[in-house]
A and B are shown apart, each in its own frame.
Chain A
Amino acid sequence: EAQVTQNPRYLITVTGKKLTVTCSQNMNHEYMSWYRQDPGLGLRQIYYSMNVEVTDKGDVPEGYKVSRKEKRNFPLILESPSPNQTSLYFCASRGVIEHTGELFFGEGSRLTVL
């Protein structure tokens, strides 16, 4: 089954404790991206990657890091989480050959930073 898998789905942590949210896709997609979703603000892009070792900032990259060492994985790293990073996070992927913008999203990771 084609899917984007995120882990963990739920996490409560404390300010300053480094954490990583993993994302893996099994569709051989070149493009992967991270979004955060906050009430009234819709989905905002954090980082995206066009392929292995190619990453770029989205609209709200501050406080986040990413890496793309393998095509299927695109982890989101919060080096020193703060309460304003409490949010619902989505990873998404897309093939670049297809000339559509259809993104395949994971189920989301709800993060609470105390």
Chain B
Amino acid sequence: GESVGLHLPTLSVQEGDNSIINCAYSNSASDYFIWYKQESGKGPQFIIDIRSNMDKRQGQRVTVLLNKTVKHLSLQIAATQPGDSAVYFCADRGQDNFNKFYFGSGTKLNVKP
């Protein structure tokens, strides 16, 4: 089946620095990826998505990079703030359109003041 993982279970950054959260996937046919943010005690919240025909997509303070050659994507958060402290998941969709999504185990981002 699908496999989506994250490189580090925990990442600590200083407030104001940039954060980079990495994710690897196994299915070379995966064509759509999403990043979610999960704050403590809450459900995951959509951040940004990217299709496989793109290498880069930018949102507000976030950028997702996709490297299909090595099956890797990353989420970059600019000027990290305390409110960015959360667990971040990448997910890719299954082959049958948007019915199934496969989530990684998450990276916990700690922002130090």
Contacts and interface: CB of A to CB of B under 8 A. Distances in A.
Contact of A107 (B43, B100, B104): B43
Contacts, number: 57
B44 to A, nearest CB: 5
Nearest to B105: A42
Given A45-B101, A56-B99, A101 B34 contact: yes
A2 interface: no
Interface residues of B, number: 23
A59 interface: yes
A103 B89 contact: no
Contact of A105 (B1, B45, B99, B106): B45
Contact of A90 (B34, B43, B46, B106): B43
A19 interface: no
A50 B93 CA distance: 15
B42 interface: yes
Given A43-B44, A90-B43, A103 B104 contact: no
Contacts of A43: 44, 89, 91, 103
A90 B44 CA distance: 9
Interface of A: 4, 31, 35, 40-45, 48, 50, 56, 58-59, 90, 92, 94, 96, 100-108
- The 7 tightest CB contacts between A and B, nearest first, are A105-B43, A43-B103, A42-B103, A42-B105, A102-B46, A101-B98, A105-B44
